[in-house]
Amino acid sequence: MKIKVGFGFDVHRLVPERELWLGGIRIEHSTGLAGHSDADVLIHALCDALLGAANLRDIGFHFPDTAAQFKNIDSKILLLKTVDLIRKEGYEIGNADITVCAEQPKLNPHIPAMKEKLAEVMHIQEEDISIKATTTEKLGFTGREEGISAYAVVLLEKK
């Protein structure tokens, strides 16, 4: 069995009058993330980690923010397409470990729903997905509540 590790990172700016989507679920908040798609920073970091592990470039290569077909797209669709791409290469997801950096809203209450939604989309067990929430202790753009960032590491297995 061959294993591959991938790392992903993404960041989006918080803006008024946008819905906040994280981990495939809508979270009530006064601001949302700006982006060409629904700007789900968690899913975007996860897609980059999956694509990187399979040596398939990155999310911008497969789903460019200049393409009209991806305007306001649900990032769960991008994740499903990403998982299809890696499975066509013979890989299965071993596990995913994701960290989201945000001062507000508090994300811990939403983590079980995020894990459930991601497991459903990727057709894996919830126990194979770890999601953690942290702050930057009021430092930097995240601390000033200007944006949210996410980091993801995945393990792929090729049998």
Annotated binding-site residues for a divalent metal cation read 10, 12, 44
Secondary structure of residue 78 in the 3-state scheme: helix
79/61 Cα distance (integer angstroms): 14
Cβ–Cβ under 8 Å, residues 97 and 152 = yes
**Distances from the Cα of 38 to the Cαs of 14, 43, 53, 124, in angstroms?**
12, 10, 24, 23
Residue 132 C-beta-side C-alpha neighbours within 13 Å? 9
49/93 Cα distance (integer angstroms): 11
Residue numbering of the annotated binding site: 10-12, 36-37, 44, 58-60, 134-137, 141, 144
Secondary structure of residue 83 in the 3-state scheme: helix
47/114 Cα distance (integer angstroms): 15
